[in-house]
Amino acid sequence: MLRNTGSSRDGGWDFRGAQTQTFTHGLHPYPARMVPSIARKLILRYSSHGDLVYDPFCGSGTSLVEGTLAGRRVLGVDLNPFAVLLSKAKTTPLHPERLCEEWRSLKKILLRPTAGMRAQRSPRIQGQFLDFGFWYKPYVVRDLAFILSQLDDRYPTAGASLGDFFRIAFARTAREVSNQRLKEVKRWRRSAVDLFTYRPTPVPRFVQNVERELPGMRDYYAATGGRVDRQVLLNDARTYRPRGRVSLAITSPPYGDSGSRGSVSRDAAPVLEELRAAGLRPTIPSRCRMLRSPALPDDQIARLRAETGLNINIRVGLASGPGTARGIGTEKVS
């Protein structure tokens, strides 16, 4: 069971400097990720062991990870298939020994492929994407195809837990070794000058990505005892209705940035409103790029209320640690 200590200064809602990559939280970046300490604090405060915690816009599953760590049953919904895969991978405790054993044998093949395997490094994935050559160097495509073919051979069924874990590391690798600029949510290609000397190394990068996450998964397994009660569904929160009694809804709705603010952002409001009407206590730690200061000005609070459709009472603003997300914590107390 987690304790809510050391995550916020003065027991308040300022989580600057809080760790954001513990357990499985660092498995893969995701835009507008919630700060885990915010989710943890709200879950511990507003729900009890065994309660069902629902996140209708679960994204990368931050609240689901925290919920399972706190011994809650969790239900997450998202209409992005990658978010669903990622949330599942992050909330599936993998036995450390089994994972390490599996990884050792996979790594051996990846680092020392036989001649036959080398010959097989055909870019099977080429042609599935438009402009593939624009985003990847040819040798990178070949190496990625090789890694993927090994994963497909070993884990042919989607949803196999070990396979999902490695596929997420693969997804991260594929982005990191592409021609796109990193640390930007939108896709921009590197400059021609930059590309000239750019020599990414897919296999070592994949190895690095897997090995960085092994300790986090080991900790997650230990903290959950290898048992979680979680459901992650590919669905539209506007029409999906959870079965069973939801004790706490916690989410960061799809605000979008200035470029993507649109119907999806507006459509989050009815979902949240409905949860409120159902007598829940929605708690909405959310990312909002403009909110960088711990204290929120009144006009921003008003704007947040309008956007979420909730009569929220914001006690203190929050800012996240490293990464793209900056967050605020809000609590509905009325």
Q: Which residues bind ligand SAM (CB under 6 A)?
A: 30, 32-34, 57, 59-60, 62, 77-80, 83, 236-238, 252, 254, 264, 267, 287
Nearer to ligand SAM, 83 or 223 (CB): 83
Which residue bears the tokens 């599996």?
102
Q: Taking CB positions, which residue lies at the least distance from ligand SAM?
A: 59
Nearest to 270 by CA among 311, 221, 304, 308: 308
Nearest approach, Cβ of 190 to ligand SAM (angstroms)?
26
Nearest to 72 by CA among 1, 162, 156, 9: 1
Which residue bears the tokens 């009325």?
334
Nearer to ligand SAM, 81 or 156 (CB): 81
Residue 234, SS3?
strand
Q: How far apart are CA 186 and CA 192, in angstroms?
A: 18
Nearer to ligand SAM, 267 or 273 (CB): 267
Nearest approach, Cβ of 320 to ligand SAM (angstroms)?
10
Which residue bears the tokens 């800012």?
319
Strand partners, 78: 234
Q: How far is CA 274 from CA 99, 237, 270, in A?
A: 41, 11, 6
> What would the two tokens of residue 136 be?
């990847």
Nearest approach, Cβ of 257 to ligand SAM (angstroms)?
10
Query: Radius of gyration (Cα) for the chain, nearest Å?
Result: 21
Nearer to ligand SAM, 34 or 328 (CB): 34
Helix 96-111 to helix 138-154 angle, to the nearest 10 degrees? 140
Helices (H) and strands (E) in the chain, counts: 12, 6
> What would the two tokens of residue 156 be?
């042919």
Nearer to ligand SAM, 90 or 142 (CB): 90
Q: How far apart are CA 315 and CA 257, in angstroms?
A: 24
> Contact at 8 Å (CB) between 94 and 161?
yes
Nearest approach, Cβ of 236 to ligand SAM (angstroms)?
5
Strand partners, 230: 74
Q: How far apart are CA 258 and CA 262, in angstroms?
A: 9
Nearer to ligand SAM, 14 or 257 (CB): 257
Nearer to ligand SAM, 237 or 314 (CB): 237
Nearest approach, Cβ of 98 to ligand SAM (angstroms)?
27
> What would the two tokens of residue 107 be?
């790594």
Nearest approach, Cβ of 121 to ligand SAM (angstroms)?
34
Nearest approach, Cβ of 206 to ligand SAM (angstroms)?
23
Q: How far apart are CA 75 and CA 55, in angstroms?
A: 6
Nearest approach, Cβ of 114 to ligand SAM (angstroms)?
40
Nearer to ligand SAM, 150 or 286 (CB): 286
